[in-house]
Amino acid sequence: MNQIHTDVPGNAASHDKPFNISRRGFLGTVAGALVLGVAVPGAIRPALAQAAAAAAAPGTRVPAFIEIRPDSTVFFRSAFIEGGQGIFTAMAQIVGEELDVDPANFVVEAAPPGPDYGLIGGYRFTGGSFSVRSSYDLMRKLGASARGMLLQAAAERLSVPVAELSTEPGRVMHAASGRSLAYGEIAEAAARLPVPETVTLREPKDFRWIGKPVERLDIRAKSTGKTQYAIDTKVENMLYAAVQHSPRLGGEPGSLANEAEVKVRKGVHSVHRLPGAVAVVADSWWRARMAVEALQVTWTEPAAGTAHAMPADFSSAGHMEKLKATTGDGVVFEEQGDAAAALSSAAKVVEATYDAPHLVHGQLEPPSAVARWNEDGTLELWIPNQAPEMFQGDAAKVADIAPEKVIIHSPMLGGFFGRHFLYQSANPYPQAILLAKAIGRPIKLVWSREEEFLRDTLRPMGVVRFRAGLDQDGNPTAVSAVAVGEGATGRWFGRQPDKVDSSAVEGIAGKIYAIPNKRIAQIHVDDPAIIGFWRSVGHSMNDFFSETFFDEMADAGRKDPYELRLELLKDSARHHTLLQAVAELSGGWKRGPFAAEDGTRRARGLAMASPFGSEVATIAEVSLSDGQVVVHDVWVAIDPGSIVNPRVIEHQVNSAVALGVSSALLEEVVYIDGLPQARNYDGYPILTPDMMPRVHVRIIESGAPIGGIGEPGLPGVPPAIANAVAVLATERPRSLPLSKTTFEEKKA
């Protein structure tokens, strides 16, 4: 319903205000649906959106985002994909604030591909903790513009000047006559009006929903099993597919010894060879899976020169040794003063090497893809993704059709953490496209958890060598760091050989402490694994390295790590305040060791990080139990400048802490002979409920430019834990995960 065929606007609209296609007479109505904005059949949406690109700047065309329904509820198309971070609710809060509609009356879906949604410098992706900060101003203006159109329509209907009108949530009010109109009653008329030349935004002091702990829109459906993830997609006449991948990337299926037997298994439709995999199509996924796993496949060796083929001799331990053995000064990324000179004249030099392993994303929803070729030549895909246009472009190449013929549906993500970017060898949709084409029916392809462990992209492996110089009073005068490895950004978006990929050094570079001489550099070493973005990317390990080394420096100079940080931040009010806030939140800084009420001996560690435009200070309290680390409490003070939803922030910080604890304590991908040793959670433990610490959050709105929320809570967690462990243990943690080490407690 509410679907309207429409042509593309033919002339350019203003780029600085929302563009209403209806003013040029393209809006129509059907079946009594009076809409502000249009819903067009999926098949022509991409073409419409692309043609509209010439007409409106991203984020300004009201109908691309907002549709007011006859019952005055708002259907909103979000440029960003929801995967638990609360972005749909944030969009409803931001737009609803200016439109004057209670966020509870929004229905939000991920928008289809189209240039209207390229809100991040013309591009569109859900990541980098960019969603709110990249769209906040635009989405407020969009909501205000739509409200302005409703006011104008009401003025005409009531024959009164606009100036006499006001709005209450969902209604236009005429106080003088006591009359009012629901938005739904005037949506159609509003859609025929010009977009206001200027809009007035609400004063932040008058916000009703922005900045408030508004309930999330997706909670009840998720609490009752009603949410549809990609893996839950059903389309008429579809068959199910399961795959078996080449154990090493780059291998191709050779002979299938028992293909004839497998083909006649109950429910099996067909057996297929795909690039790097074999597939079985059947009438249920279980039958497809049992059949494909029964296939006896001889895999070829990767052809010479195959890009990113997994070497037969690749081992995690071997690659770690290689990184550690790679010496040199590297390519400079950040430099201040003369670190070499300061180090050579230092009273004391501290040196340490740190490392962190490959990690999987481990999101609970296994990857899937539903592919359907339509009679009109379009290809329709339901796929978990963080970047619809990028997937559309790649799918078009696989399908050998024009991108506008690929219709992308982006369902709710069952966790992502960086998993669902365009990583060709890690995405199931190319296989689904080929299978659907081959059998002439829609396909639902699901990767088993075991196949997911084989093909997920990994957080890069990292090694960093640090040197610090201290003066005679123990104050740091120089820090020099060389990171060895490869960054995910360079892998997927192109690396310049003479430049450092910032994702390889973020969290080592960009530190906030007033240390006069710094040199942060990198040596690129290809990572043999298919690497990807993992929640908080480089920061997820680099802040562990740099903040743990900070405490080593402090200890070497006989300084308390909290006091030393305060001293080195004395000229930065924002950071000074933040650090004091986390100390206060935890009841005052105390490093320990101290005895807890339950008799355990505990200590606290501290870390600071500056990820994704926000500032974070973290304290963790730990004890040791049989040499293993137990995390009891984590206190996080976060300053994202300004906020949209404090409750969502608290929950996102909880989530980031969980992943931070999990990665610090437990997680490690181990390859031997080119094969990952874990193929499910039984071999790759992730944080369990009994290991979850209490989490205490303080939000500080410093008024600085708005920063990210989804990732920033994570980077401080591993170093805060490690710094606490260093207080208790005879050995300082320099290698993750901590569960590899049985720590011995220092004598009291």
Partner 1 sequence: MELNINGIRQEVDIEADTPLLWALRDTLGMTGTKYGCGVAQCGACTVLVDGQPTRSCVTTVDTVVGTQITTIEAITDDPVGRKVVEAWVVNQVPQCGYCQSGQVMAATALLKETPQPTDDGIAAAMVNLCRCGTYNAIAAAVRDAAQA
| Nearest distance, CB of residue 634 and partner 1, angstroms | 11
List C-alpha distances in Å: 403 to 62, 390, 734: 24, 10, 48
**How many Å is the Cα radius of gyration of the chain?**
28
* Residue 595 engages partner 1 in binding (rule: CB under 8 A): no
CB 649 within 8 A of CB 639: no
Strand order in the sheet with 476-485: 331-336, 517-524, 476-485, 462-470, 348-356
* Residue 655 engages partner 1 in binding (rule: CB under 8 A): yes
* Cα of 392 vs its chain's centroid, Å: 19
The encoded tokens of residue 457 equal: 């992209």
Part of the chain binding partner 1 (CB under 8 A), chosen from 230-238, 457-465, 568-576, 617-625? 230-238
- Supply the DSSP string of 191-240, one letter for each residue: HTSPPPS---PPPGGG-SSTTS-PPPTTHHHHHTT---BGGG---TT-EE
* Residue 598 engages partner 1 in binding (rule: CB under 8 A): no
| Nearest distance, CB of residue 412 and partner 1, angstroms | 7
| Nearest distance, CB of residue 657 and partner 1, angstroms | 7
* Residue 218 engages partner 1 in binding (rule: CB under 8 A): yes
Task: Return all residues near 190 (Cβ < 8 A) that are at least 6 apart.
Answer: 36, 68, 146, 149, 150, 152, 153
Q: What is the DSSP letter of 440?
A: T
Nearest to 151 by CA among 186, 200, 176, 102: 186
Residue 133 or residue 216: which is nearer to partner 1 going by CB?
216
Nearest to 528 by CA among 358, 677, 277, 299: 358
| Nearest distance, CB of residue 231 and partner 1, angstroms | 7
**Burial label, 379 (beta-carbon count in 10 A; 0-12, 13-18, 19+):** buried
d(CA 386, CA 80): 8
Among 223, 237, 472, 496, binds partner 1 (CB under 8 A): 223
* Residue 742 engages partner 1 in binding (rule: CB under 8 A): no
* Residue 644 engages partner 1 in binding (rule: CB under 8 A): no
Residue 17 or residue 216: which is nearer to partner 1 going by CB?
216
The b/e string for 530-566 (b: 16+ C-beta within 10 A; e otherwise) is: bbbbbbbbbbbbbbbbbbbbbbbbbbbbebebbebbb
Within residues 257-316, the interface with partner 1 by CB under 8 A covers 266, 284-287
Among 14, 166, 198, 228, binds partner 1 (CB under 8 A): 228
Among 118, 127, 362, 418, binds partner 1 (CB under 8 A): 362
CB 608 within 8 A of CB 618: yes
* Residue 596 engages partner 1 in binding (rule: CB under 8 A): no
Task: Return all residues near 315 (Cβ < 8 A) that are at least 6 apart.
Answer: 671, 672, 673
CB 708 within 8 A of CB 506: no
Among 96, 113, 414, 719, binds partner 1 (CB under 8 A): 414
Among 30, 257, 341, 364, binds partner 1 (CB under 8 A): 364
The encoded tokens of residue 155 equal: 């003025």
| Nearest distance, CB of residue 441 and partner 1, angstroms | 15
Question: What character string, x for contact with partner 1 (CB under 8 A) and - otherwise, covers 384-413?
Answer: ----------------------------xx
| Nearest distance, CB of residue 620 and partner 1, angstroms | 15
Residue 166 or residue 688: which is nearer to partner 1 going by CB?
688
d(CA 493, CA 565): 35
Among 83, 143, 538, 716, binds partner 1 (CB under 8 A): 83
Among 14, 176, 197, 220, binds partner 1 (CB under 8 A): 220
d(CA 122, CA 390): 12
Among 42, 311, 318, 415, binds partner 1 (CB under 8 A): 415
* Residue 455 engages partner 1 in binding (rule: CB under 8 A): no
* Residue 680 engages partner 1 in binding (rule: CB under 8 A): yes
Collapsing DSSP to helix, strand or coil, 251 comes out as: coil
* Residue 658 engages partner 1 in binding (rule: CB under 8 A): yes
* Residue 72 engages partner 1 in binding (rule: CB under 8 A): no
Among 97, 98, 252, 365, binds partner 1 (CB under 8 A): 365
Part of the chain binding partner 1 (CB under 8 A), chosen from 137-145, 227-235, 620-628, 665-673? 227-235
* Residue 229 engages partner 1 in binding (rule: CB under 8 A): yes
Nearest to 520 by CA among 355, 358, 337, 356: 337
Among 123, 681, 699, 702, binds partner 1 (CB under 8 A): 681
d(CA 710, CA 660): 13
d(CA 286, CA 267): 10
Nearest to 19 by CA among 65, 83, 62, 81: 62
Element (H, E) at 672: strand 671-672
Residue 141 or residue 696: which is nearer to partner 1 going by CB?
696
* Residue 657 engages partner 1 in binding (rule: CB under 8 A): yes
* Residue 635 engages partner 1 in binding (rule: CB under 8 A): no
> Nearest 5 degrees, angle CA 732-CA 685-CA 635?
55
d(CA 486, CA 329): 16
Residue 404 or residue 650: which is nearer to partner 1 going by CB?
650
Among 5, 15, 226, 397, binds partner 1 (CB under 8 A): 226
Q: Tell me the number of residues near partner 1 by CB under 8 A.
A: 63
Cis bond upstream, residue 737 (ω within 30): yes
Part of the chain binding partner 1 (CB under 8 A), chosen from 326-334, 460-468, 520-528, 691-699? 691-699
Among 106, 117, 391, 416, binds partner 1 (CB under 8 A): 416
Among 323, 390, 446, 454, binds partner 1 (CB under 8 A): 446
* Residue 692 engages partner 1 in binding (rule: CB under 8 A): yes
Nearest to 230 by CA among 390, 424, 384: 384
Question: What character string, x for contact with partner 1 (CB under 8 A) and - otherwise, covers 503-542?
Answer: ----------------------------------------
| Nearest distance, CB of residue 670 and partner 1, angstroms | 18
Residue 12 or residue 221: which is nearer to partner 1 going by CB?
221
| Nearest distance, CB of residue 360 and partner 1, angstroms | 10
- Applying CB under 8 A, the residues found at the interface with partner 1 are 83-86, 215-216, 218-229, 231-232, 234, 240, 266, 284-287, 362-366, 412-417, 446, 448-450, 647, 651-652, 654-659, 662, 680-682, 686-690, 692, 694-695
